[in-house]
Structure 1
């Protein structure tokens, strides 16, 4: 993970400060695992269960926390394996549903994009109508939510990709770079268009409830609106739960770096506790915590990437200087 390329990759340039940077990153990664990959996900899961089926946040939170404990502490990996296999299937279902809604409302595509760009740079996008603040507000919120969604530059993905076995690190890096592109350009853009085209953004409902309303309204044109809560609920539950399990790994690697293997099991218990907190806390409180910890994790990683630019350039030159990139 990043803490290792900070400590060892920057040792010649930063000396003892390389270790300091790595410790700062690892500490932030532990905090971020409790927010980005944990509380935000469990909050969305309980929210969609409450919106679609009326399940109480407390009950849903207890059940989700129980499953997380079984996997990360109890070692019941079977649940995680089944979830990971179902995620691609649900992604296809979600994609088809979104495309269907967009096709049914094709006449609103132009006006939807106009609304996005118009409100991004005018006073209507800013609190209090101050035109100058509109751009800053939009940019800030876009960076926050974009970073939360695709994790580009945050330093979480390298922990997973570091486990890959490849003679060329750049090849794995190129594969990793596709992730934020697919997430942002395809999934997030499709969701935004569905929400705008159906008018769900004006419903007054926040969070995942807005998405449910959008798909209900859009699919109602072909009498399939009743499927929307089930598509969104099942899909989000799978996506969010798999994210929780993934981030438990990221956080455990950071905890192991800081305190050794003895810290992993206590970390897992703490992680599971925060799953429950995220389930019952309010949306605004959860997002405030998430926005704060993402920043603490991203800044050290971006500093390291900039300082390691000569190494990256060498890897690019070495890789494209061979015929391996053609295969």
Structure 2
């Protein structure tokens, strides 16, 4: 879409995300420009035979010349042009900026304390994670068929992640081999009845790249588009590359100012599926307890969107056959984001 850009940006979401978000997204810091925009104009006027009452001395108007498509792409373009459809320029480049804020679900938790190997410990919990991300991308695409655009995206991402951590004190003491929690209440170490809590904060940055396709169509003033984007993210807070699928169906209405310029208002939703693993380390102040020193915890966890779907709405301004701009916001569920894009078609 010149809505494709909005999606890639969302992936970078992983998309669309970046970082955790880029890893999981806006993908694609959610990469789709509304390149097609569903633009369809009324059919060309067919030759008209003058009515019998017309002055026979007056010649009939010549038929309109046949328009010729002079680009290699898209395939089948001439057939569509002959049906009265006004196609956009077939190639496009774009830049976009994506900003996201979302909550994520953590699973497959492996932790280790004070240098011990990572393992699944049920006395450690990660109840919530919040990711803030911004990413910047460039995109290049082409219309392969009048209804199908393919594109590639690449960019950078950066952001912050806050992960809440809780540790059951009795479980930690048992893990470290420190006795006492089985003693009578008056003799137990205080930590046996406490829950340690903290928030691990991390700044991250990295690169994203991906591919995508957008299927689009229109009927009179209405249009629909289905962008599908796959984004890979390589960020500093992960030992593996994050992979994100972003699917963002939308439909809208075109308001034409003239033959080349029109405004599209649209709405839809974004589906985000990501495969992200992050690693880190956090230190709890336990020096004043029976442990006698701070407890250092290393962790490795899987991260996925808390809500797979959220809603979106946006506006796309096709200034002329070459230039256009897009603004889009996502809301609902546990994810909020915004995208701005500028694109050039040729």
**TM-score bracket, shorter-length normalisation:** under 0.3
Q: Which has the larger radius of gyration?
A: 2
Higher helix content, 1 or 2: 1
| Structure with higher RCO (Cα < 8 A, 6+ apart) | 1
Q: Which has the higher strand share?
A: 2
> What is the TM-score with the length of structure 2 in the denominator?
0.18
What is the TM-score with the length of structure 1 in the denominator?
0.18
